[in-house]
Amino acid sequence: MARTKPLPIQVGTIVYNEKDRLPQWLKHWQKHAQRVIVLDQGSDDGTQDILNESGVTWFERLPRGNPDIHWNDLIAISKANIPIFRHGVDEFITRANLKKILKVMKAHPNIKAWWLARRNWIDGIDLRKHPEVKGLSIEDDWQLVISYGKAYSFNGRMHNWPQLQIPTDNMGYIDPDNGWIDHYRTMEEIERVNADRFHYCRNGSDADQDWFLRVCRDLVERYGDESK
C-alpha cells in the first residue's frame, strides 16, 4: 500500500499527561501534515516517551494547566510560510475536508487567518442534536485555528477570543460545507476538565460552563442508546 503523501500544512497542539489520547492524534496528523509540533506542559505519565518515539518536533513549556498561555509559543515556533493548524488532541479533520479547506485557502492568498466550524461529539453523539443549541454559537462553534505566522495571539485567559494581529480584511471563514473540525470528547472528560477550568476562565463564564455541562448530560441521556 502506497504511503499517504503529507499535505502542505503544519499542525500543532499542547498536551499534559495525554498518553492515552496522544497516539491516535499523532497517527492521524503525522499522516496528513508535513510537520507536527507539540508543546508538553511537563507530563509525567509517559507522554514525553511517546513524543520521543514519534519523531515529531516537541518542546516542554511550563506552567501547566491552561493551554492558552502557550498557544502563542506554538504559533511562534511554526514556519510562517506554511499554514499552521492549531488543534487539541481530541480534534481531527478528514483528509477529504483538509483538501477542500486547502482549495479554498489557495483561492484566497490574501487571507492569513481562517476560522473553522467545529462539530462537537459527546460520547459519539453530535451536540447539534440538542434543541437548546439551535441558533447559538455552540451549534457551529467557530474556532480561529489556521494561520500563517503570527496572525493572532492570546491574552492568556481561557475561553477568551484570540486577538487579531492583522487587518480584518486578511481574515476569513471556511464554509462548513468545505470542511470542519471533528471534536471528540466523552462525558467523563468534560466533567473532569470543566471542573478544573473554573479558576482559569474569564469572569462570568462559570454560568456558561454550568449550562454547557447540563446540556451535555441531557444529550447523553436522550441519545446515548442510539450511539451504541
**Residues spanned by the domain of 105:** 7-227
Report which residue type is found at 171.
M
Residue 207 to residue 57: CA distance in whole angstroms: 38
And the C-alpha cell for 66? 491552561
Does some domain include residue 2? Answer: no
Cell of 109: 492568498
Q: What are phi and psi of 10, to 5 degrees?
A: -125, 145
pLDDT band of residue 206 (cuts 50, 70, 90) is: confident
Domain count, the chain: 1
> Is there a domain that residue 1 lies in?
no
With CA atoms as reference, report the closest residue to 21 among 80, 87, 119.
87
- Lowest-pLDDT choice from 171-175, 195-199, 206-210: 195-199
Res 192: pLDDT:
84
Question: Would 86 be classed as within a structural domain?
Answer: yes
Whether 142 is covered by a domain: the verdict is yes
**The pLDDT value given to residue 67:** 78
Say if 156 falls within a structural domain: yes
| Interatomic CA distance for residues 181 and 179, integer angstroms | 7
What is the domain-level CATH number for residue 145? Answer: 3.90.550.10
Average pLDDT, the chain: 91
pLDDT, one tens digit per residue, over 17-47 is 999 999 999 999 999 999 999 999 999 999 9
pLDDT for 199: 55
pLDDT score at 52: 97
Alpha carbons 184 and 87: distance in angstroms, whole number: 12
Any idea which of 1-5, 124-128, 214-218 has the lowest mean pLDDT? 1-5
